[in-house]
């Protein structure tokens, strides 16, 4: 089934800039059977693990995280861009290829000691995922893993996530 999923993910050349091949999940998500298989794949990886919360990165991490949280019967916590969360929050700034960015999470989103699974659609350089792990650490949550539908090999995202103890990285497809 993974081969069938990979065939449904569109490759868009030169987006968002020249030389980049963007892996577009929207073509896979519009097929109900493929979408179900993508969620079910991650569910099978985590159904027997002790997870209290799934943390999803804005915005495609919400697409991955909400149905997975529902299937695992755990809470969902969104990590958002600045200015989107109304209550007290933790912020984390991180470096991008050209500049920096910031993400935020409500301070009361997870309890100290809670087991947290980070999810997003794609792992590339790992900058955003590492920033999210730092937010989880600020809240004193236990990072039990990071799950992605797609991983771009050679960009060292998996290697960067190794700095977070017990953060097992799982990706469904590699390019």
Please provide the average confidence, as pLDDT, over all residues in the chain.
96
Residue of 60, 80, 137, 168 marked active site? 60
* CATH code, domain carrying 169: 3.40.50.2020
The per-residue pLDDT for range 63-95, each reduced to its tens digit, is 999 999 999 999 999 999 999 999 999 999 998
The answer to whether residue 130 sits within a structural domain is yes
The per-residue pLDDT for range 99-120, each reduced to its tens digit, is 899 999 999 999 999 999 999 9
Our answer to whether residue 97 is catalytic in this structure is yes
How far is residue 11's CA from residue 25's CA, in Å, rounded to a whole number?
Answer: 9
pTM metric for this prediction: 0.95
Q: Which domain holds residue 121?
A: 48-174
Query: Binning pLDDT at 50, 70 and 90, where does residue 3 land?
Result: confident
Our answer to whether residue 163 is catalytic in this structure is no
The answer to whether residue 13 sits within a structural domain is no
The answer to whether residue 40 sits within a structural domain is no
The answer to whether residue 113 sits within a structural domain is yes
The answer to whether residue 157 sits within a structural domain is yes
Which one-letter DSSP state was computed for residue 18?
A: T
| Nearest by Cα to 68 from 161, 146, 167 | 146
Residue of 7, 58, 97, 163 marked active site? 97
Average pLDDT over residues 1-12: 90
Domain count for the chain: 1
């Amino acid at each position: 089934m993974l081969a069938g999923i990979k065939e449904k993910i569109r490759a868009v050349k030169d987006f968002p800039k020249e030389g980049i091949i963007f892996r577009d999940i929207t073509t896979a998500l519009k097929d109900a059977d493929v979408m179900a298989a993508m969620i079910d794949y991650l569910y099978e990886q985590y159904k027997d693990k002790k997870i209290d919360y799934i943390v999803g990165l804005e915005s495609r991490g919400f697409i991955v995280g909400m149905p997975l949280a529902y299937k695992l019967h755990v809470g969902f916590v969104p990590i958002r861009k600045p200015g989107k969360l109304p209550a007290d929050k933790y912020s984390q700034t991180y470096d991008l290829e050209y500049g920096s960015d910031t993400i935020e999470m409500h301070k009361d989103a997870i309890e100290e000691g809670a087991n947290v699974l980070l999810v997003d659609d794609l792992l590339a350089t790992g900058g955003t995922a590492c920033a999210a792990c730092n937010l989880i650490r600020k809240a004193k949550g236990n990072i039990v893993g990071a799950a992605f539908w797609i991983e771009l090999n050679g960009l060292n995202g998996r290697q960067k996530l190794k700095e977070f103890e017990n953060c097992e990285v799982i990706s469904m497809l590699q390019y």
